Amino acid sequence: MRTPTSGTDREPTSPRTTSQHPEAPRDMMDSSFTFLRVRGIAIGAHWSWLVVAGFVAWSLGSQIYPRTHPGLGDRSYAVMGILTAVIFFVSILLHELGHAFQALKEGMKVHGITLWLFGGVARFEGMFPSAGAEFRIAIAGPAVSLVLGIGFTAAAFFGDAAGLAEQVVGVSAYLGRINLIVLAFNMVPALPLDGGRVLRAWLWHRQNSFTAATMSAAKAGRAFGYVLMGTGFLGLFTSAVTGGIWFIVLGFFLLQAAQSEAQYAVIARTFRSVRVRDLMTPEPVTAAPTLTVEEFLDWARPMKHSTYPVGEDGRLAGLVSIRMAGAVAADQRASVRVSDVMVPLESVPVVGPQTEVMDALANLRSGLGRAVVLDGDRIAGILSVSDVAKAVELEQARGPVDEPEAKSAGVLVWVVVTLLMALAAAAFYRPPLAVVSPADAIDISNDFTIDGVPVDEPSGRYLLLAVEVSQPTALGALFAIVHPRQDVLPISAVIPEGVGDTEYAEEQENVFRESRMVAAAAAARAAGFEVSLSGSGARIAGILPGSPASERLRTDDIITAVDGTPVNLAGDLANIISGRPAGTTFEMTVQRDGEELQVRVASTRLERQGEGRPSIGVLIETRDFEMDLPFEIDFRDRRIGGPSAGLAYALAIADMLDPADLADGRDIAASGTVRIDGEVGPVGGLTQKTAAAEATGADILLVPDEEVGDTGDTSLPVRGVGSVGEAIVILQGR
């Protein structure tokens, strides 16, 4: 019913950005430290990667693996989490090496690979040689992820068949899935993702214009960024706040990166035939390395620039700025020399006068934002970021540049791509929401057989009303929001935190089976039989996050008394709490790990599956449940959960035990919890249940007294009841 989508289950992805974009977030793209070199490619990591790697290992070991592979032990989960995180990031690195190795084949220079917040990035220098080269470089990384995804998935399949340890199979299965997710995400046709580069390569080949192709692919990138941010904002209104924030940050990054790609395309168009000599400041004045800082500041005072080459015997020795000199304490400036504060020669960005401006941009983005132009050994000029920016502004002031050879991709291309992305996100992303909708009404008249006492078959039908709870896709959630008979709730309001889907379903089915036995006891008592039920307390099977119980109680606690009143059955606890106003503080006797404790818990009004009533936020079941009836009753097995079928079963059983014909040929729909003494309690979800009763053509609808108003506008005769006996009287009165 539920697919994991909390922030802790969120899978890291790996968008790409290359160093050819001057506006890219350079501080995030540069490595904080380098730990490996492969074929001359420096491989490092940004500090943000350490945070993400730790978070991935923790979430896998503490949440995902315990839920998907229960019973393995904390040490196994910790090892599985750490091992998976390490191999996952190795997979990301292999993905990036796929890009890098192909780039080397295409004759490009690879600046390095950085692992960072969103996975990894391979950074290249200069322009892609051609549309075909960009396509081959872009597709190389996803090809690696595809091979890894298939390989790990196959390893999990054959490992399971061969009986390998569950830990090995679990890690392999997860790695197969996550690599395929990385593949799917990166192939979305939106810059700067790999799919966006594939799209741009195709458009570039088709249009014969890199700029036009980039503009179209960047539009798709911005659209996808907005889709992710919208998805994230949707998550903020559910329990998946962490996941929502992750999507917002990722969407914002893609938005900025797509804009950076577009700006780069404009710069590339502007400088496609421009050389460094065309923009540099020629024959710059040079500072002597022997000058003291004080002399340098006096010398530079009448000058127009802030940064100067340092020359010695006509040769470049370094680069110095007024800011560097000004950082020296005033009392030391007379003794400290320029050679002591300058950027040394080996660290000075150097370009030639014939170098294309696009190739020089990578040098300008490091250090002081300037590069010294050398013609042989002679200092021919200096090029700064401001020189490039000024040229771009002048070019833009002249108006748009004609692209006579470009064929328009048309608005249709990126509109279709955007719609496909939005639909894909809405159709596949499952937000942490649950949809409560009407389920088909079920005739339970023949659901049981009674032996040992005289019985009469009912002449009509008794209809069990239930709701269907599912976790929808984002698209399904949008439809449910506007549907008059469906409610959308946070998933945490349905399934407690830390309780798996299978475990939750089993617990709810146990509650359903117990409620049928209690209903049989209530019906027997209404017919005048002696009945006894027994149990040894209410076991806590699950706790809702953020509920009052989450701070005081634990799973597997046994509640044996409340305010001095013994609690033998799960229903005893539920009735005590729901029978007092929300906000009441209860003194509970609790058995925990062989000890008896006194715990104070206050109730609150919780919304669960459309139900709002006093609660402490726990799932409970009776420990050592037994019942002594004056007859034998066998129920048909049904995959239904919860206690709300109690009233319908109690009336159907009572009709068989009562010589009078209670149904009288009618279709009787009913919903309500039932205690052994016959008292009827609230159930919730009556909007959906009423719709199901209407669709089945019921003649009457019986609901708890306090929830009559929740049935909404209906043509059905609706009667509120406080007990099974009262419901029987209503049916007898026709």
632 is catalytic: no
561-578 average pLDDT score: 87
What is the torsional sign of CA 50, 53, 57, 58? positive
For residues 609 and 684, is the Cβ–Cβ distance under 8 A? yes
- Give the distance, in angstroms, between the CA of residue 461 and the centroid of all CA atoms in the same chain: 45
Above 50 in pLDDT, residue 478? Answer: yes
Higher pLDDT, 210 or 731: 731
Query: Using H for helix, E for strand and C for coil, what is the string for 406-471?
Result: CCCCHHHHHHHHHHHHHHHHHHHCCCCEEEEEECCCEECCCCEEEECCCCCCCCCEEEECCEEEEC
The predicted structure's pLDDT at residue 20: 35
| Integer Cα distance of 249 and 118 in angstroms | 10
CB-CB contact of 585 with 537 (8 Å): no
Q: What's residue 587's pLDDT?
A: 94
Please report the pLDDT score of residue 597 as a whole number. Answer: 92
Q: pLDDT-based confidence at 28, cuts 50/70/90?
A: very low
Query: Is a pLDDT exceeding 50 seen at residue 19?
Result: no
pLDDT of residue 727: 92
Cβ contact 488:480 at 8 Å: yes
pLDDT of residue 195: 87
Q: Give the pLDDT of residue 419.
A: 64
**Is 707 strand, coil or helix?**
helix
Q: Does domain 532-628 have CATH number 3.40.190.10?
A: no
- Give 118 or 532, the one with higher predicted confidence: 532
pLDDT band at 23; cut points 50, 70, 90: very low
Q: What is the pLDDT of residues 144-194, one digit of tens each?
A: 999 999 999 999 999 988 888 888 998 999 999 889 888 888 888 888 888
pLDDT at 473 over 90: no
- Delimiting residues of CATH 2.30.42.10 domain(s) in the chain: 532-628
Q: Where in the chain do CATH 3.10.580.10 domains reside?
A: 276-397
Q: What is the phi/psi pair of residue 50, to 5°?
A: -60, -40
Residues forming beta bridges with residue 112, ordered by sequence position: 123
Closest CA to 186 of 246, 145, 230, 128: 145
Distance, CA of 296 to CA of 290 (rounded, Å): 9
Residue 12's pLDDT is 32
Inform me whether the pLDDT recorded for 21 exceeds 70.
no
Tell me how far CA of residue 309 lies from CA of 26, 163, 353, 355, in angstroms: 25, 69, 16, 19
- Please state the rounded mean pLDDT for residues 640-658: 89
Residues 484-499 have a mean pLDDT of 68
- The catalytic residue among 11, 96, 294, 497 is 96
CB-based contact 608:493 (threshold 8 Å):
yes
Most confidently predicted of 124-133, 348-357, 360-369, 554-563:
554-563
The answer to whether residues 463 and 667 touch, using CB atoms and an 8 Å cutoff, is yes
pLDDT recorded at residue 719: 92
Rounded distance, CA 645 to CA 636, Å? 14
Supply the DSSP string of 8-44, one letter for each residue.
TTPPP------TT-TTS-HHHHS-SEEEEEETTEEEE
**pLDDT: which is higher, 399 or 647:** 647
Least confident of 136-145, 478-487, 619-628: 478-487
pLDDT above 80 for 496: no
Comparison of pLDDT for 210 and 359, the residue scoring more: 210
Whole-angstrom distance, CA of residue 65 vs CA of residue 48: 24
Does the structure show a pLDDT above 50 at 199? yes
- Dihedral sign of CA atoms 86, 92, 96, 99 in order: positive
DSSP 610-659: TEEEEE-SEEEEETT-EEE-SSEEEEPP----SSTTHHHHHHHHHHHHSS
Predicted pLDDT of residue 636: 84
In percent, how much of the chain has pLDDT > 70?
84
Structure tokens at 702: 């019986």
Give the pLDDT confidence of 432-459 residue by residue, as tens digits.
777 887 777 889 998 899 999 999 888 9
Average pLDDT over residues 271-292: 86
What integer pLDDT is reported at residue 30 of this predicted model? 56
What's the confidence (pLDDT) of residue 724?
A: 92
Q: In the chain, which segments carry CATH 3.30.230? A: 430-487+503-527+633-734
Place of tokens 């091992």: 83
Stretch 554-577: mean pLDDT: 89
Burial class (CB in 10 A: 0-12, 13-18, 19+), 397: exposed
Residues 299-306: contacts with CB within 8 Å, 24+ apart?
Answer: 300/325, 305/281
What confidence score (pLDDT) does residue 108 get? Answer: 85
What number is the average pLDDT over the span 87-113? 88
**For the chain, what is the mean pLDDT?**
80
Residue 501's pLDDT is: 60
Which of 18-27, 658-667, 692-701 has the weakest average pLDDT? 18-27
CB atoms under 10 Å from CB of 347, counted, come to 11
Mean pLDDT, residues 716-733 taken together: 91
Structure tokens at 647: 């009233």
CATH code reported for the domain at 430-487+503-527+633-734 = 3.30.230
- Write down the residue that tokens 């899935």 correspond to: 177
Residue 21's contacts (CB-CB under 8 Å, 6 or more residues apart) are 257, 260, 261, 263, 264
Predicted confidence band at 420 (pLDDT cuts at 50, 70, 90)?
Answer: low
Residue 148 CB burial class (10 angstroms; 0-12, 13-18, ≥19): buried
Give the range among 28-37, 248-257, 275-284, 337-346 with minimum mean pLDDT.
Answer: 28-37
**Measured between alpha carbons, how far is residue 450 from residues 77, 447, 457, 629, 633 in Å?**
49, 10, 10, 11, 5
Among 469, 466, 450, which Cα is nearest to 458's?
450
**Predicted pLDDT at 404:** 42
b/e string for 248-278 if b means 16 or more Cβ within 10 A? bebbebbbbbbbbbbbbbbbbbbbeebbbbe
Confidence band (pLDDT; 50, 70, 90) for 425? low
**Does the structure show a pLDDT above 70 at 678?**
yes
Q: Does domain 276-397 have CATH number 3.10.580.10?
A: yes
CB 255 within 8 A of CB 226: yes
DSSP 506-519: HHHHHHHHHHHHHH
Residue 653 · residue 519 · CB < 8 Å: yes
Place of tokens 């706040």: 241
* Residue 106 to residue 492: CA distance in whole angstroms: 51
Amino acid at 253: F
Tell me: pLDDT of 89 over 80: yes
The SS3 assignment for 703 reads strand
Whether the pLDDT of residue 104 is over 80: the answer is yes
Let me know: does 522 contact 648? Beta carbons within 8 Å: no
At 253 the pLDDT is 81
